[in-house]
Amino acid sequence: MTSRDVDISTPSRRAVVRAAAATAVAAPALAAPAPALAAALPGPAPVPAGGAAGATAAETPVFLHGIASGDPLPDGVLLWTRVTPAPDALPGSGRGADTEVRWEVAEDRAFTRTVARGAVLATATTDHTVKADVRGLRPETSYWFRFTAGTGPVPAVSATGRTRTAPAADTATPGVRFGVVSCANWESGHFSAYRHLAARTDLDAVLHLGDYIYEYGSGQYPAAKYVVRPHEPRHEIVSLADYRLRHGTYKTDPALQALHAAHPVVAIWDDHEFANDSWSGGAENHTPGAEGDWAARQAAARQAYFEWMPVRASTAGTVYRRLRFGRLADLHLLDLRSFRDQQARIGSGTVDDPARSITGRAQLDWLKAGLLASDATWKLVGTSVMISPVAFGALPAHLLAPLAELLGLPQGGLAINVDQWDGYTDDRRELLAHLTGHSIANTVFLTGDIHMAWANDVPVTAATYPLSRSAATEFVVTSVTSDNLDDLLHVAPGTVSVAATAALRGANRHVKWLDMDHHGYGVLDVTAERSQMDYYTVSDKRRPDATTAWARSYRTLSGTQRVERASAPVV
C-alpha cells in the first residue's frame, strides 16, 4: 500500500491498576472561579482589516475542543466538534446560548473545491457538541473539513481536519492501514503516541479500543506523587456534568486534537468510560448509595460518550457495530460492558457457567452471524478485553502482585482473569467453535485493556496447544500512558520483565510475544496475503516531546490462523 496525501474479589476498589484519569492543558483555568476563568479563555478572533471592531468574547464563539471525524463509510463520514459560545459555557455547565455551527467538506485544504456543507444547532442539551453525518462522498478518498460559528462580523473558524472515506463495499482494495491505541490515562503522562500517529499520512483510520478516558479522582491512579498533570474534575466522576467535563478536558490535549484532526477515529468503549470493571448492573468502582444509582451513572456516562465522541450509536444505544473496507476486511466492533453478567468470584467455579455472558445473547448471535456471512478476506474483531486465555507460571513474589493487578487477578495468582473472556469461558467456547465448525478463516482479534503488547494464537484448547488447533489470532496493543509493570514497580523498562515474560510465555504456549515494559501504539496493515501489526513504543510517557521507535512486528498469513514474527515494519 502506498502512502497517501493525506468477583469482584480483586484488589481494593481504588487501588486497582487499570483505573485512570483525565484532564486538560487548561486545568488551572478550568478549576478557577468564574471571573478568572473568563479571563483565561481565549478572546475573540482578530478583526480583519476593514471589519467591525465591536466583537467581544461573549459574542464570538470559539472551538476550544478541536474537531474530529469518525466511522468512515464508502460514501460518508461522521464529523464532530464542540463550540464554546461564551467564556462560562464550560463542558457540563449547562450554560451558553444556542449557536448555529456550519460545516463544510472539500477536496482540497484551501476549500476551493467544496463538495458538501450544512449547519447544525449546538445547544446545552448536548453540551454544545454537534455531529454531522455527511453522505454523498466518493469512496476511498481523502477530504478536508472545518466548522464556523457566530453571526457577528468576525465568525469563529475551527482548525482544518483531514478525513478519509472507506473503500466501496465490493472493491478489491489492495490494502488498508489502521493506527491502533488503547488506555490513555491523563494523570499518568502525555499523549505522545497520539502525536506520532497524527503525523503519519498513510492511515485509513485509527482504532481506539477503549479506556479513552478514566473515571478516577485525582491522585487515585497513579498515586498523587506520581501524577504528571491533574485532571478535571478533581473528584471521581459520577454525574452527567462530571463525565462531560472529563471528556472536555481530554479534548483540550494538543496531541489528541492533532490525532482527531488528522484521521477518522473508530472507537469502542471499555470499563473506564463508565467505572472500573463495570458490568450491566454495577462496577467494582461504584458504591451504591454513596455514589448514587448505577443505572443513572451508566446513563450519564453513555450520554456524555456519544455527545463527545465521533461515533454513531446503534439503535440500542451501544457501540457494537460493523464497518466494511471493501472486500478486504470487515471490522466487527464489540461492546463488552453493557450486556455482560457480573464478574465471577475468584475460585467460585462459575467462570464456565453457560448462563453467564460477556457479550449478551443478542450481541454474540450478531457477531456469529456477521462472521459467517462475511465475504471479506479478513474478519477483524475489535474487542476491548483479551480473548486469549492467560495462565500463570511460577513467579517471584515481587512480580506476582503487580502482574495480578494488571491482569485482573487476586494477589494469590489464580490463573483466571475474570474481567476478560477468561471469566466467561462458555461465550469464548461457543465463538471459537463457530469459527472452526464453519471453517471461518482469517479472524483477527484487536485488543487493548491490559497495558502490555501481545501477539497470540487463539487456541481452541489452550492446555494442549500447539497440538490442538488455533481458531484465530490476536494482536494486543499496549497503553498510551496507563501504568504497566515497570510503572507499578517504579523501575526502568526491562528491569524485572525478563522473569515475568518467561513465566507467562512458559505457561501460555500460544503467546508468541509479550512486551510488559513500554507504552505506545500499533499500526495494523492488511493486505490479501497477510495482516501485520507493527508495534511502536514511545521513549518516555511523562514527556510531551517523547520520541517513537519501532519495536517488533507480527503477522498472520491468510489461511493459517497462526502468528509469526515479521522482520520489519510495513512502509
What is the spatial distance between Cα 243 and Cα 248, in angstroms, rounded to a whole number? 8
Is there a single domain that holds both residue 45 and residue 87?
A: yes
Is there a single domain that holds both residue 152 and residue 195?
A: no
Among the candidates 158, 184, 199, a domain finishes at: 158
Is there a single domain that holds both residue 150 and residue 187?
A: no
What is the spatial distance between Cα 489 and Cα 502, in angstroms, rounded to a whole number? 18
CA angle (57, 63, 65) in 5-degree steps: 130
- Please give the full DSSP string across 233-269, using - where no structure is assigned: SSSPP-SHHHHHHHHHHHTT-HHHHHHHHHS-EEE--
Is there a single domain that holds both residue 141 and residue 205?
A: no
**Residue 316: all three cell numbers together:** 440500542
Phi and psi at residue 503, to the nearest 5°: -65, -45
3-state secondary structure at position 62:
strand
Is there a single domain that holds both residue 469 and residue 501?
A: yes
**Is 480 inside any structural domain?**
yes
What is the strand order of the sheet 329-333 is part of? 321-325, 329-333, 378-383, 443-447, 470-476, 453-459, 511-515
Burial 69-106 (b: 16+ CB within 10 A, else e): bbbbbbbbbbbbbbbbbbbebbbbbeebeebebbbbbb
Minimal CA–CA distance to 7: which of 350, 297, 433, 472? 350
* Average model confidence (pLDDT) across the chain: 88
Per the structure, the complete domain to which residue 558 belongs is given by 176-566
Locate the DSSP E strands across 28-83.
67-73, 76-82
Among the candidates 129, 158, 187, a domain finishes at: 158
What is the spatial distance between Cα 427 and Cα 413, in angstroms, rounded to a whole number? 23
Predicted model pTM: 0.88
CATH of the domain at 353: 3.60.21.70
Query: Could you tell me if 264 and 201 are in contact, meaning their C-beta atoms sit under 8 angstroms apart?
Result: no
Band (pLDDT 50/70/90 cuts) for residue 75 is very high
Query: Could you tell me if 414 and 346 are in contact, meaning their C-beta atoms sit under 8 angstroms apart?
Result: yes
In the chain, how many domains are there? 2
CB atoms within 10 A of CB 28: 13
Band (pLDDT 50/70/90 cuts) for residue 416 is low
Distances (CA, A) of 390 to 86, 459, 475, 556: 51, 11, 14, 20
**Is 165 inside any structural domain?**
no
Is there a single domain that holds both residue 266 and residue 186?
A: yes
Range with lowest mean pLDDT among 75-89, 318-332, 498-512: 498-512
**Is 164 inside any structural domain?**
no
Is there a single domain that holds both residue 184 and residue 291?
A: yes
Is there a single domain that holds both residue 140 and residue 274?
A: no
Is there a single domain that holds both residue 198 and residue 76?
A: no
Report the C-alpha dihedral over residues 298, 301, 303, 306, rounded to 10 degrees. Answer: -130
What is the spatial distance between Cα 198 and Cα 259, in angstroms, rounded to a whole number? 4
Question: What is residue 381's predicted lDDT score, i.e. its pLDDT?
Answer: 99
Question: What is residue 556's predicted lDDT score, i.e. its pLDDT?
Answer: 98
Query: Could you tell me if 371 and 379 are in contact, meaning their C-beta atoms sit under 8 angstroms apart?
Result: yes
Is there a single domain that holds both residue 127 and residue 222?
A: no
Is there a single domain that holds both residue 101 and residue 234?
A: no
pLDDT tens-digit map of 287-340: 998 999 999 999 999 999 999 999 998 777 899 999 999 999 999 999 999 999
Tell me the mean pLDDT in the region 424-440: 97
Which amino acid does the sequence have at 234? R
Query: Could you tell me if 139 and 171 are in contact, meaning their C-beta atoms sit under 8 angstroms apart?
Result: yes
Among the candidates 98, 123, 158, a domain finishes at: 158
Query: Could you tell me if 465 and 459 are in contact, meaning their C-beta atoms sit under 8 angstroms apart?
Result: yes
- % of the chain surpassing 70 pLDDT: 86
Is there a single domain that holds both residue 325 and residue 234?
A: yes
pLDDT tens-digit map of 533-545: 999 999 999 999 9
Distances (CA, A) of 264 to 122, 261, 364, 433, 525: 22, 8, 27, 34, 16
Band (pLDDT 50/70/90 cuts) for residue 498 is confident
Range with lowest mean pLDDT among 141-155, 244-258, 492-506: 492-506
- Please give the full DSSP string across 148-207, using - where no structure is assigned: EE-SSSS-EE---EEEEPPPPTT---S-EEEEEE----GGG---HHHHHHHT-S--SEEE
Q: HEC states along 351-418?
A: CCCCCCCCCCHHHHHHHHHHHHHCCCCEEEEEECCCCCCCCCCCCCHHHHHHHHHHCCCCCCCCCCCC
